[in-house]
Structure formats: structure tokens, C-alpha cells
Chains A and B, each alone.
Chain A
């Protein structure tokens, strides 16, 4: 496998993640066009979004329904998701997790909280 092909495969994995993140964040059925818009400035071409949605549906991660002439996609949730989620909740509250997994943020000090709010407010 050449360098280019490997790059492309990694890219498509990242794209699947981004599309899935959009669908979960919105939480309502979305067409390919809506997903494309929601991806914002970094969005790939519409056709690529359509391909990625088809692939995610093929993997059983999405459910789809017909809306007029297009398909609307929504994340498929099963009972296993809830179980995994609860277990995760119990696990990550455990003792020294630093060596097992790296988190994005790990809580916040009240003093820092105000400073961070100010930072966000200055631009919002």
C-alpha cells in the first residue's frame, strides 16, 4: 500500500468520525445536504458526504428513512449502547486512569472557570 493510499484511508476514517459526530450532535434525522452544511468550512464535496453516509449505514451505525427524494440519516441506538455507556461511566470514575486512557479535560477549578468563561464571551 503506497503512502498516498494510506493517507487517503486515514482521511476517510477521520471523515467518518466527523460525519458521525455531526449526526449525534444534532440528534435529528439529516439528509446528506444538511450534513454537508453542518460540517461547515471544513466540509468535503457533497458527493463524498453521500458516500460516507452510505458506508456508515452499511456498517449498521446509521438508520435511514426516505424524505421526498433523499434519505435522512440518524444514528442507530441499541440497548448495547446504553450498557457500554453505563459501564464506561463506572470505569472512568476509577482511580488512576492516566496510564490507561488520556482524556480531553478532567474537570475544572472554580477560579479557572470564570477566566475561561470570559475568554469565550469575548468572542461569542
Chain B
């Protein structure tokens, strides 16, 4: 029965491997939702497997035995996790939780600092910053805002500016920051899930690109706006942005907009769905095993 715990530990690797297929065969909005589910299931599997192993393994220590008045033989029968595994699992679990806490803390601090920008008077949902470099982003929260520098506004002709505003507005109306937050938390819990986080980051941009193309009723116009904005940012001062993976994919986004509109081919994502379902079953089984172990410990 404890075999399922080890299945859970392998699940994130399998789910990460399914990521590219999901991105490729689903339209961006559907892909982001499915990828976010996969990453949440994978993070859950990681945490739960480590918890079960830690409880099972550490139950062998003398103090726990004395406290629980359980017989070592009965425990061994219910729970074949070696003590060493328990120690390693507990250490990994603690590391994962510390990383998650650190990520959450950084995020809260950055959002608080950005409140100063959010507090600026807005025209509708737009805040313009009088800076010469080209930059634009969606600032989620209440109220959500589109922040654009004067440098970016001047770099684009009026119809391409409409694409930019529609793109950022799509981030806000579809609550893209929530998918981003889940992806980031999952990657903090299990670094293997960084690949899925990158897929989600790209999917979210593609989703907003498609929404903007629809808003201005022209994929070609959306592609040109994106290309021009990207070229305008090449004269950005300071060190290059940390998110290098997005940089490599501007050309991919422009290319996707110049191709025909995306359609979902759901049959192709069956393997990913089956992997997620199998993980969910393994999660349930491991939970039963944990309960059995605790029952033996605390009769």
C-alpha cells in the first residue's frame, strides 16, 4: 500500500512532461486552466507524499512510541516506511514550506510597494507614468490598473496602442494573476514545477494576445503592436529583466498571432488528464494509508 506514496513522488515529473502537449493542442485560455490544474495537483502530491513519509518514518522514534503507547511490531506491520526516509521527507517538507513562505512574503511586499503606483489618479483604468523608457504592465488587485509609461505610448501608433490596452485589460478581467500565483507557489514547493510555471506564464500572455486581437478585430494589427512594443523595450536601461524565458518567446507570440486562430484538440490532452486523475487516486490511497498509520499510533 505504501507503494502509492512513491507514485505520488513521481507524479510531478509525469505531469511536467505533459505540459508542452497541453500548451500545443489547447487554445491559450483552456491550456492555462488545464496547466494550472496539473501544477496544483502536482504540488499537492509533493506535499502530501512528503507528509505521509515523514509521519510514517518518524513514528519509529522511541519518543513517539512511548508517547503513543503503541507496539513497535504493530506499527511495523501497518507502516513499512524506514526511519531514514522519514527524516529525509521531513527535511524536504520543511524546506518546501520555508520556500513557499518566502515566496508569499516577497509577493506581499512587492504588491504593497506597488500600492503607491496604484494610488495614482487613473483615467478609467489607466495610469500613465512620465518615464521615457517603454514599459507596460497590468497591476492586479483592487482596483486593477493598467500601468503604461509615456515612452511606450509614444512608441506605438494609435491603433497599436488600442492592442496594448486591450492586452493588459484582458489580464485584469480574466484574473491572470491568480493562475500566476498558483504556478509560483507550486514552483516554490517543488522546483521541478518551474517548467510548468514557465508554460503558464507564456500561456497567460498568449491568452491576453488573443483577447486583444479579438478586441481590435485584427490578428495582424495585434502582431504588429507586439513586435513594435518589443523593439521599443530593447533600449530599456538597467540590467535585463529576470524573466529571460519570456524574452525568447516574443517571436513565438508574434508568430502565433500571424497564424490562423487557435483551436483546441481535446483528444490530444487525454494522457495529461489520465495522469492527473491517477495522481488524485494515489493521493486518496496515501491518505487512507496515513489514517491507518495514525490509528495504529494512537489506538
Interface residues of A in 11-50 (CB under 8 A from B): 12-22, 24-25, 27, 38-42
For residue A1, CB closer than 8 A to chain B, the reply is: no
Which residues of B have CB within 8 Å of A91? 110, 113-114, 117
Interface residues contributed by chain B, number (CB under 8 Å)? 81
Query: A61 and B121 in contact (CB under 8 A), knowing A14-B165, A97-B110?
Result: yes
For residue A93, CB closer than 8 A to chain B, the reply is: yes
Determine the residue in chain A with the shortest Cβ distance to B220: A123
For residue B50, CB closer than 8 A to chain A, the reply is: no
Number of cross-chain contacts by CB at 8 Å: 211
| B129:A84 contact, CB within 8 angstroms | yes
- Pick from A61, A85, A98, A108: contact of B230, CB below 8 A: A108
A105 CA / B136 CA spacing, docked (Å): 8
Which residues of A have CB within 8 Å of B158? 22, 25, 38-40, 42
| B229:A105 contact, CB within 8 angstroms | yes
| B208:A102 contact, CB within 8 angstroms | yes
State the main secondary structure of chain A at its contact with B: helix
For residue A7, CB closer than 8 A to chain B, the reply is: no
| B223:A119 contact, CB within 8 angstroms | yes
Show the binding face of B for A, using Cβ within 8 Å. Answer: 103, 106-107, 110-111, 113-114, 116-117, 120-121, 123-126, 128-131, 133, 135-140, 146-150, 152-154, 156, 158-159, 161-162, 164-165, 167-169, 171, 176-177, 180-181, 183-184, 197, 201, 204-205, 208, 223-224, 226-231, 233-234, 236, 238-244, 246-248, 250-251, 254, 258
